[in-house]
Amino acid sequence: MLGKTAGGLFWMFRHLERAENTTRLIETGLRIALTRPDRSNDEWQSLLKTAAAEQVFFTKYETADAANVVDFLLRDAANPTSVQSSMAQARQNARMVRTALTREVWEAVNDTYMQLRSTLARPATDKNLPDTIALVRQQSALVRGALHGSMLRNDVFDFARIGTFLERADNTARILDVKYYVLLPSISQIGSNLDNVQWETILRAVAGQRAYSWLTQGAVTPKGIADFLIFDGRMPRSLKFALGKLQSNLGYLEAEYGNTLPCHAMAARLNAQLCTSSIDRVFEEGLHEFILAFLQDLAQLGRQIETDYRFIG
Nearer to other proteins, 153 or 234 (CB): 153
Asked if residue 65 lies in contact with residue 219, where contact means CB atoms within 8 angstroms, the answer is no
Q: How many CA atoms lie within 13 A of 202 on its CB side?
A: 29
Decide: is 309 part of the binding site for other proteins (CB under 8 A): yes
Residues 6+ positions from 302 with CB-CB distance below 8 Å: 166
Residues 155-194, one symbol each (x = binds other proteins by CB under 8 A, - = not), give: x---------------------------------------
Decide: is 197 part of the binding site for other proteins (CB under 8 A): no
User: Angle at CA 158, nearest 5°, toward 101 and 114?
Assistant: 35
The stretch near other proteins (CB under 8 A) out of 41-49, 63-71, 110-118, 126-134 is: 110-118
Decide: is 96 part of the binding site for other proteins (CB under 8 A): yes
Asked if residue 206 lies in contact with residue 273, where contact means CB atoms within 8 angstroms, the answer is no
CB of 66 to other proteins, least distance (A): 31
Nearer to other proteins, 93 or 201 (CB): 93
Question: For residues 163 and 97, what is the distance between their CA atoms, to the nearest angstrom?
Answer: 14
The stretch near other proteins (CB under 8 A) out of 92-100, 126-134, 162-170, 281-289 is: 92-100
Decide: is 304 part of the binding site for other proteins (CB under 8 A): no
Decide: is 10 part of the binding site for other proteins (CB under 8 A): no
Asked if residue 25 lies in contact with residue 53, where contact means CB atoms within 8 angstroms, the answer is no
Decide: is 281 part of the binding site for other proteins (CB under 8 A): no
Number of residues engaging other proteins in binding (CB under 8 A): 24
Decide: is 265 part of the binding site for other proteins (CB under 8 A): no
Decide: is 150 part of the binding site for other proteins (CB under 8 A): no
Residues 6+ positions from 39 with CB-CB distance below 8 Å: 32, 197
Q: Which residues of 148-172 are buried (b: 16+ CB within 10 A; e: fewer)?
A: eeebeeebbbbbbbbbbbbbbbbbb
Quote the DSSP letter at residue 128. T
Judged by CB under 8 A, which of 6, 48, 146, 147 binds other proteins?
A: 6
- Rounded to the nearest 10°, the torsion over CA 231, 232, 235, 240 is 40
Q: How many CA atoms lie within 13 A of 67 on its CB side?
A: 7
Nearer to other proteins, 72 or 311 (CB): 311
CB of 110 to other proteins, least distance (A): 5
Q: Contact positions toward other proteins, by CB under 8 A?
A: 1-6, 92, 95-96, 98-99, 103, 106-107, 110-111, 114, 155, 253, 257, 259, 309-310, 313
